[in-house]
Structure 1
């Protein structure tokens, strides 16, 4: 049956700003980038370590989606990292606010949250090799 996550789709409000955030800041690899004139929409396929993809979409005037506090629906997108402190430092150098590090009481793993340009909650979850 299910074998893994293929992709996560994100609709952004400012395509160039979100493209720079996911590609330049977070380092995801561009797989494909297509503009659909009939929809006035960009679709950017991004690879994350060849395990998963993020599809970044733009549409004219997308309605905002509530995400705080704890709105119903997808809660957040979590990225697996080897060195949480190094990733936090990288984000902070780019003036990205990062929440204080917490420890999962069930796994004893360290994690934190930050947000993409549209406020989508993103998590960093440390899995040491």
Structure 2
């Protein structure tokens, strides 16, 4: 008697790629690059992969952006090269890939503006408390 099956899934996490704002939970976090493989099994042992999916995953709410194999490979190359040295060219390639997939990326200027506005609000609250 041979026991066969399908649908066994394995996933490989390649680590954080970059801070991206999630459209689902609105948190800004380092999204993870992940590859999920679905296998045909024989006696509960994965034998033949028959589907491979590539994702960028939000670590907060587990929302994801589906990627094409080429986009996945580009992101993986960016991660490997950025580990050796930071490059603005790699950053712009990442931005274009994520934006095509439907993500929202904030630039450093936007992040600085948001921090400045938060500091301004805190200072305003301090002044209001001290006048009361």
Query: Could you say whether these structures have the same fold, taking a TM-score greater than 0.5 normalized by the shorter chain as the test?
Result: no
- The one of the two structures with greater contact order (alpha-carbon pairs below 8 A, sep at least 6) is 1
Greater helix share, structure number: 2
Flag the structure with larger Rg. 2
State the TM-score, normalizing by the size of structure 1: 0.28
